[in-house]
Amino acid sequence: MKQIKLTTVLIAMVVLFAGFCLGVMVGKNGSGEEFRIITERKTAQLQAPTQPTSEEDTTAPTSQVIQTEKESGQTTEAEAEPTLININTATVEELMKLPRIGPTLAQRIVEYREYFGPFESTKELDMVEGIGEKTIEDIIDLITVEE
């Protein structure tokens, strides 16, 4: 009876030690980079409407007038299909051309990309602080994630 208890205790200790060693090996083989997991969003950020800053020209038209094929007789390739902005390579200035993306959000997108690596999907933009569902809905057809 005593020998069975001793054997059970020794087996348990060996299993625990093996688990500890495995954990150390996995930990040392990791990338060593810090990462953060965003578990919640601030309610004020989601509900606050995007207001133009004093630097932005509020009188500029928000839509671009494109002649139809009937009016011009032909359409160019640029008129037929807008150029998509690759969020994995775009600069702050290029990102600011997107609706609802000002200098602050553009900088956050670039910083997120530099810290976490390239975006795998356009939906991943919701991980960037300050970008919510409405912003993604407004820009989803204007962006791409190519490498």
Query: What CA–CA distances, in Å, run from 119 to 35, 80, 109, 112, 114?
Result: 15, 27, 10, 9, 10
Whether the pLDDT of residue 121 is over 80: the answer is yes
Q: What are 16-49's pLDDT values in tens digits? A: 999 888 887 776 665 555 555 666 554 444 444 4
Which CATH number is associated with domain 82-147? Answer: 1.10.150.280
Confidence grade of residue 83 (pLDDT, cut at 50, 70, 90): confident
- What pLDDT sits at residue 3? 80
Those residues whose C-beta lies under 8 Å from the C-beta of residue 135, and which sit 6 or more positions away, are 50, 100, 101, 105, 125
CA 107 – CA 100 distance, rounded (Å):
13
Domain residue extents for the chain: 82-147
71 backbone dihedrals φ, ψ, rounded to 5°: -70, -45
